[in-house]
Structures are given as C-alpha cells and as structure tokens.
Structure 1
Amino acid sequence: MAIIKFGDGFVHGLHQVKLSDLLKLQVNRVVNLAGQVGRHFGNSLLVLGLIYYRSESGLVSLTDTDDLLNIVVVGLNIGSSYWAFGGIRLTTIAGGNDGVMAAAAVARKHAVKRFVPM
C-alpha cells in the first residue's frame, strides 16, 4: 500500500511541477511530495511488521513450535490490534480475516516447497 501511495504522490508531484523551474528543483519537488504521501503508509506498515515479528517470535519461544497455528494466532493478533479503535465488530472481522490470510500465505509457501522443484 505504501508503494501505491508513493506512486500516487509521485503523480501529484508531476502535476505540480512548474516548467519554469530548473530540472533539479522539479525532481526534488516530485520526490518530496511522493515521500510525504507514502511515508504515513510506510510507517504504518513498518509498525505492523514489527508487531507481527515480536508476536510471532514470542509465541514460538512460548510454545517451542513453529507451525501453522502460530501464524494464524499472530495474524488474528495483528488484525485485531490494527482495527481495535474501529469497534468490536470491525475488530473481530478484521482479526479473523487476517488470521485466514496468514494461514493461506503459509499454506501456499508449504505447497510451493512441496510441489515446485527447485
């Protein structure tokens, strides 16, 4: 999402460039605007990634297993914590959705390892 927003900011920056400016100033204006738009989403993605990493490593050290159930529980945790301020219904739906998506990603990874020759 951050890359998409960066691209959106890039397009807005291209529209705001003045042809009378120097090329260096035009490039600087485009890059700055793209960074400002994409920074918020990039920071959100970074924070969620850190929460995911800490939750997963804590759960693995707690259970001494690295299996699909841990990934699903951590996905539930991430979805619930991200949407926590939206209300209980939204939190429950988002947590369940993220748990299912995490399970699907891990199942896909195991299927690729098993059926695709490397």
Structure 2
Amino acid sequence: MATNHSSDDESTRLYHPYQSYELPIKAQHLYKLPTSPEYLFTEESLKKRRSWGENLTFYAGTAYLGGSVAGAAAGVISGVKSFEYGDTTKLKINRILNSSGHKGRSLGCRIGAVGLIYAGIESGVVAYTDRDDVWTSVVAGLGTGAVFRAARGVRSAAVAGALGGMVAGGVMAGKQVLKRYAHI
C-alpha cells in the first residue's frame, strides 16, 4: 500500500509493501515512489497535451455523443408532435423511439464529423507550428467550418469558416474564464 508521508522530498511517496500484514518494518526498507508520471523521454514530459490519436478520439467521440443526445431530445419532441387521434400507447411509443433514433443518429453523425475534422486540423496545425494556444484552436475552427461547408460553395464555406473560428475562440475564452474563476 502506498501512503503519503511528509518527507524532505514532496515529489515522492513512501511505499510499504507489507502494510496489510502489520509487520515491524524499519523506515529504510520502505520504497520511495514518484508521485508524478514517469516518462521515457524528457520531450514527452515537456508536452502538456494529448497525442493526435487521443485528440481525434476525444473530439469525435464527445461530438458524436453530444449530437446524438441533442438529436434524440429533438426526436422525442418530433415524435410527440406526430401523434394522431386514436393512436394506441404502443404506437405512440414506437413513433417516439423511431423519431428519436433517426434524429439522434443523423445529428450525431453530422456533429461527429465536425469533431473529426476539427481534431485533424488542430493536430495538423500543432504539428506544423509546434505551438498549442488559443490561435491554434481558432485556426482549426476556421478550417473546420470551411471544410464542412465547402461542398455548398465558396460563400457558404467562408461564412461557416468565420462562424467556426468565432465559436472556437469563444469556447477557448470560456475555458480560460473557467480555469481562472471556477478553479476546475
């Protein structure tokens, strides 16, 4: 069992492997284990961000989950609105389930694709500039909006890119405010 003891070095903790047996073990036989993560290379310890694969999984997964939940909620409302006079309870439940499943799936896929594009562009910008700051997120938001709406024309891509950049900047500003005032 690992126990935290105040010692001269706060970056280690004492590990007593026989603590549950209550054997009299002298302090010199305890192990000092580090409390921070250990890295094989020092370059890994300097970077305080996720890898591109973790980034891709995180953004795409959370976007898909959020879109699916929002779409399912909209589908419930749409299913309730589609009730007809004389519908049985089974038919009403079926309408709600079909509508929420269809809308949740479609909105989840759309927003998940946006998360996938954003993660790819952000990882590419970080790899190219070797910086991870607010402007990286804004550029990734600009690129995401433009790529997502590129099939609808240049004007639509420019408007979506501007909106994407503003949303990414707003999210990053909100994150900084939460870090400063909410202490999360």
Equivalents in 1 of 2:75, 2:183: separation in Å? Answer: 41
Letter in 2 for 1:81: V
Give matches, 1:10-89, under 5 Å: 10-14=76-80, 15=83, 18-19=87-88, 23=90, 26-89=92-155
Q: Deviations over 1:31-76 (max 9, x none)?
A: 1221112321111001111111121122212222110111011001
Equivalents in 2 of 1:28, 1:78: separation in Å? Answer: 37
Q: CA RMSD in A?
A: 2.4
Q: Secondary structure at the match of 1:92?
A: helix
Pair member with larger Rg? 2
**What residue is the counterpart of 2:159 in the other structure?**
93
Deviation at 1:2, TM superposition (A): 5.1
Verify: 1:9 aligned to 2:78, yes or no. no
Give matches, 1:93-112, under 5 Å: 93-112=159-178
Q: Secondary structure at the match of 2:132?
A: coil
Deviation at 1:90, TM superposition (A): 2.0
* CA spacing shift, 1:99–1:12, aligned 2, 3 Å: closer
* CA spacing shift, 1:73–1:10, aligned 2, 3 Å: same
Question: Which of 6-15 and 62-71 deviates more?
Answer: 6-15
Q: Unmatched 5+ residue regions in structure 1? A: none
> How many residues align structurally?
115
Higher helix share: 1
Higher relative contact order (CA 8 A, sep 6+): 1
Deviation at 1:117, TM superposition (A): 3.9
Q: Unmatched 5+ residue regions in structure 2? A: 1-66
Equivalents in 1 of 2:121, 2:103: separation in Å? Answer: 29
Please say if residues 71 and 106 of structure 2, whose CA atoms lie closer than 8 Å, have aligned partners that are also in contact: no
Letter in 2 for 1:46: G
